[in-house]
Amino acid sequence: MSSEELVLEKILSTGTNGVKKSDLKKEFTTFDLDKTLENLVNDGKVCIDKKGPAYYCWTSEVYLKHLYGVDPKFRILIERMKLIERKLDIHSNSVKDALNGLIDLLKTEGADHNALVNLDNFKIEFDTVLSKSNTSIGWIELGQVRNELSQKFDLSKNEFYELVEQLVNAYHNEYELSTGGNEGVVLRGLLHGYVRGI
């Protein structure tokens, strides 16, 4: 075993407590410990930090665990980074789904018009129509939305309202339905003919 392997093995065996540099100097006298530790630090395998009056050595992974346990600022930073990572995962999955939908759409170019309708591209067009709503409170008749979207998609009345129902169920925190109107989605026995974006 090389001197670096011997020192690294010893440091690994001490876990999150780490090992005093002075203890390593007592144990390893046959080679230049300072040079060996310097190489290990430069390679990112070992961290050396002061704990109390003495210097301690940890492997890089274990040092992070040590800091997480003893340094509140470090712990808060790590938790914030994990939160950002989770949010990025959610957003990257949404972007990935949208891109896959677009790729599927492009693959089916020239196919039957009905085959091009999926919940993702229906949502995009549905949201566009809602954003054009000229009322101050944002409500728009679903019949009006259907008329505008029938220019984009060749959908029957039933197909349109099935997609609206799927959309509202899948994105319930983005849309609000209201009773009334001449046509719409029947929920709990009531006709809901108005919609707005939340």
| Mean pLDDT of successive 10-residue stretches along the chain, which has 198 residues | 90 88 92 92 91 90 85 87 85 78 67 63 89 76 89 85 91 89 88 89
Distance CA 118, CA 123 (A): 8
What single-letter DSSP state applies at residue 43? T
Dist. CA 93–CA 111, nearest whole Å: 27
Torsion-angle region of 138 (φ positive above 0: left; ψ -120 to 50: alpha; else: beta): left
Vertex 38: Cα angle to 33 and 42 (nearest 5): 150
Q: Identify the pLDDT of residue 107.
A: 65
CATH code of 112-197, in short, is 1.10.10
Q: How far apart are CA 49 and CA 44, in angstroms?
A: 14
Please tell us whether the domain made up of 3-70 is placed in CATH 1.10.10.10: yes
- How many CB atoms sit inside 10 A of residue 192's CB? 20
Q: Would you state the torsion angle of the CA atoms of residues 23, 35, 59, 1, taken in this order, to the nearest 10 degrees? A: -90
